[in-house]
Amino acid sequence: MKESRISWSAMFALVLALGLSACGGDANGNSAAEEAVADAKEAVADAGEAVSDAMDDAKEAVEDAEEAVENAVDAIKQEMPEGVTMEMIAQGKTVYAGAGICSSCHGPAGKGIPSLGADLTDDEWLHSDGSYEGIVKTVMEGVTAQASSSGVPMPAKAGTNISDDDVKAVSAYIWTLGK
Ligand code: HEC
């Protein structure tokens, strides 16, 4: 009996110790978990704020870029001669290298070919004042051998049968080369 009484009190002490440590453990565990949750919430809030800041910045950058493009297009449009459109300039580039065969005498980039076609990219114009209308007139009529500085004539419309609209378009393109 004596033996069993000792073991009962030992058991009681053990249960008490376990109970205390469990309570203590629980209390510590809870507060640590709560802290971790609070930290995580804070981290999520910080991340959310960073994302919305980044989105604001990106939106602002896109708006700035859009404004810059609009300004650039406006600047070109304002400078563009009466009757010239961006579409004409694009079409003229095609005529220059294609049906108009301009590139064969003036070079693919309009830089001219010695003793043949003049440089069309500099601001020195031999046969007109370099205005859009002046360029149209030169392309329509060509350049006579007497008027040509190289003695080589340029046939009217470069000797091709491109339309008057094509002449205007290619002249609009050449006008941009001189800018
Ligand atoms: C057969 C060769 C030849 C072809 C093809 C040709 N040109 Fe010319 N072009 C000339 C020559 C030569 C001149 C006169 C250059 C000079 O005076 O030194 C000239 C002059 C010009 C000028 C006047 C440049 C200035 O300084 O006033 C323009 C503009 C021009 N060409 C545009 C064109 C266009 C546009 C085409 C295509 C539709 C074209 N040319 C096709 C030979 C050519």
- Give 30-71 pLDDT, tens digit per residue: 888 889 889 999 999 999 999 999 999 999 999 999 999 888
Cα 170 vs. chain centroid, distance in angstroms? 27
169 lines ligand 1 (CB under 6 A): no
Q: In degrees rounded to 5, what are phi and psi of residue 17?
A: -60, -45
Q: Which of 93, 94, 103, 106 to probe ligand 1 with, by most ligand atoms within 8 A of CB? A: 106
- Give 2-11 pLDDT, tens digit per residue: 555 667 766 6
User: Quick one: CATH architecture of 86-177?
Assistant: Orthogonal Bundle (1.10)
pTM to 2 decimals? 0.68
DSSP state of 125: -
So where are the chain's domains?
1-79, 86-177
CA–CA gap between residue 77 and residue 89 (Å, rounded): 12
148 lines ligand 1 (CB under 6 A): yes
